[in-house]
Structure 1
Amino acid sequence: MKKWVKWLSLGLVAALMIPLAACGGSTSKSDEKKKLVIYTGRDKNVVNTVISKFKQKYPDIEVEALTMGAQEILERVRGEKANPQADFWWGAPQTTLMTAAEEGLLESYKPGFADKIPANYKDAQHRWVGEMLLPEVIMYNSKALKKEEAPQDWDQLLDPKFKDKIVIRGVMQSGTMRMIYSSMIYRLGADQPQKGYEWLKKLDANTKEYTPNPTSLYLKLTRQEGTVSVWNLQDIMIQKELKKMPVDFIYPKSGAPILVDGVGIVKGAKNADAAKKFYEFLFEEQTASELSKKFYQIPTRTDLKKPDWLAGTELKPLNIDWAVMAKKEKEWMQYWDANIKNKGKK
């Protein structure tokens, strides 16, 4: 009798523990947050705003964003190919994304908004898509120089009066700068880059310093350690209007390289579902319109109107074959780094 009672008691305890254990495991799993890791070259104000709104819509997704230059992102994603650490790549010139796609670093995914993006602003295999148009222009300190005193076109950057007045964001680490410099070579003859190299050597002679990051570039311009630079229109407008820095831009008379700056999902992303949600959210009409109005983005979506702040500025493009640029950029920039950088003054 005692044995029977003992076995009955043990059986009841075991029976009670099974649902409790199951319940406990289920709760732990449901409470576990999903994760999304983003590598981005975007301005921190843009990043913080978008991620904050994304988290409101998807509170179950924990987002980690690491900011670095587009070229740095490419090299990092390359190095992590066997074991991807990022899920979403937010911000890079189309040439950089074209290279990444050809190297098998980006996942093919056709987002719901794909038909609203022109064919020349996206990859035919849906490995990347352009988020915004990014004209590359001349930047100057608006306290040190009047608008008419700043260089009005690319060749005026070589004028001796701007010697030691030019500061440049470190070229090799920056997708933006690599594209500007490659565009200068292309416009003078892609088949014979020597003319472009000579042009960059003269620019190097006028360049006082290459800064390690954009923040340092803005500070040096603000302190008038330099008064002229080249950079992208969106970031200049953010520094001017949101941060009240004394900077402004000249849209070059001969035209500007207009980059398609885009995004993509990293191949083999561990959190691909979260990456797709962020992808779609980033291009929603409300998100894209807000970024256009508040953060001076020029959206690639054809159904969105031209932003008011761009009124009066003609987006005259330099005629560039971006497929050629994607193919030649690495070669050209390696030559510049080895043979031109800091050698123009000698």
Structure 2
Amino acid sequence: MTNGMKKWMVGVLTGALAFSLTACSGGGSTGTSSNGGNGNGGAAEEKKLVIYTARDKNVVDAVIPKFKEKNPGYDVQVLTMGAQQILERVRGEKANPQADFWWGGTQSALMTAANEGLLEAVKPSFADKVPAQYKDAEGRWYGEMLLPEVIMYNSDALKKEDVPKDWDDLLDPKYKGKILIRGVLASGTMRTIYSSMIYRQDPKDPAKGYEWLKKLDANTKEYTQDPTNLYLKMARQEGVLSLWNLQDILIQKEKQKQPFDFAVPSSGVPILVDGVGVVKGAKHKESAMKFYEFLFEESLRVELAENLFQIPTRNDISKDKMPNWYKNLDLKPMNIDWAVMAEKEKEWMQYWDENIKGKGAK
């Protein structure tokens, strides 16, 4: 074959290949334009959603399939960790966000995240149905549900009359070695409870609260790694008392048939606002907003109250639609300035970890 013939054949093949690639790219061009020309994979990219959650597996398993059923084709990735761990991870990923939606965070953690510019300001359709005290003024987070913090106990091991009636009763020497506490620093729930114990003594003089926590530490047998270990050890009666949120206690009692019950401290309980938000710079913000709207639908809120004991923040849901356990609930909120709690929590918990944990008078 002559050199001229070789050049002619290469030219024909190159032209054919170029024509083929141009023809095949037609669908991609249409997809890009229909998606606002973002050039990041078109509509398929928008149907991805990455969620960081502190929610119990029972909640995730109840909600995500319903969302995917209502929104076919969505690739939903859920990473579960403690609320405080979510804050630290979102903070560490600020320059290149990996999550789209933060599902389950304490009021203090979300306020901190908002102040650090980690959350997107949005106004979903339900915004006006959430009272001002349960949301960020700029719409960077909204409270999804309320979590009363109470005293948890093993009902096989303790009679109701033998359970502490108030927070201070937990310091009684008769409970020494009977208290189990979920690892505090990684848990938004526990950080809130412990910070509340300092606050209720005197928010201007944390030394009084530190002394209280030192006495509680003296009665604490173990700080468990996570909720699963807490439940396991409580069920085995390795410890028979704890401090925990009402919702998870009821889930374990009613759904998992664990021998757990709760006592509402007579002086009042911290009622934690557990919220959600869109991560600033989320790669799939449209998907995150779709999940936001779904999560606050009235029918889902009522269903989650009925099946998973959640107390919704929405103020437009008729009490008649809510389950009996909710109607019969009698709670006295502890008077807390949550802005002060958000400001002081890190300092207080660091001091507790370095100076009190495991060092109470034995």
Q: How would you bin the TM-score normalised by the shorter chain?
A: over 0.9
**Aligned partners of 1:72 and 1:30: how far apart in 2?**
32
Partner of 2:105: 92
Matches within 5 A, 1:328-343: 328-343=344-359
| TM-score, with structure 1 as normaliser | 0.93
Which segment is superposed worse, 24-33 or 283-292? Answer: 24-33
Q: 3-state SS of the aligned residue for 1:208?
A: strand
Pick the aligned partner of 2:159 from 146, 149, 163: 146
The CA deviation at 1:13 is 6.7
In the alignment, the residues of structure 1 paired with residue 19 and residue 280 of structure 2 have an alpha-carbon distance, to the nearest angstrom, of 46
1:305 offset after TM fit, Å? 3.3
Are 1:126 and 2:139 counterparts? yes
Out of 27-36 and 287-296, give the one that drifted further.
Answer: 27-36
Residue in structure 1 matched with residue 332 of structure 2 by the alignment: 316
The alignment-based identity, stated in percent, is 68
Q: How far off its partner does 1:17 sit?
A: 4.0
Give 1:160's aligned residue. Answer: 173
Distance 1:123 1:16, change over 3 A: same
Q: Which amino acid aligns with 2:327?
A: A
- Measured after TM superposition, the shift of residue 32 of structure 1 is 3.4
| 1:66-107 CA distance string (max 9 Å, x none) | 111000000000100000010000001111100000000000
Q: Show the counterpart of 2:24.
A: 21
User: CA separation in 2, counterparts of 1:201 and 1:212?
Assistant: 20
Q: C-alpha separation between the residues in 1 aligned to 2:72 and 2:278?
A: 21
Distance 1:67 1:149 in 2: 36
Does 1:221 pair with 2:221? Answer: no
After superposition, the CA RMSD in angstroms is 2.1
Query: What are the within-5 Å matches in structure 2 for residues 71-220 of structure 1?
Result: 71-220=84-233
Specify the alignment match of 2:34 in structure 1: none
Structure 1 letter corresponding to 2:139: H
2:360 matched to which residue of 1? 344
Deviations 1:211-249 (A, max 9, x none): 010000000000000000000000000000011111010
Q: Deviations over 1:32-65 (max 9, x none)?
A: 3621000000111111111100001111210000
Q: TM-score, normalised by structure 2?
A: 0.89
Match of 2:248 in 1: 235
Gaps of 5+ in 2: 1-8, 32-40
Q: CA deviation at 1:130?
A: 0.3
Corresponding letter in the other structure for 1:132: M
Tell me the matched-pair count.
340
Task: Quote how far apart the aligned CAs of 1:136 are.
Answer: 0.2
* Partner Cα distance (1:38, 1:181) in 2: 27
Superposed CA deviations along residues 99-139 of structure 1, whole A, max 9, x for unmatched, are 00000000000110001010111000000000011100000
User: Which residue identity does 1:202 align to in structure 2?
Assistant: K
Consecutive unaligned residues in structure 1, runs of 5 or more = 1-5
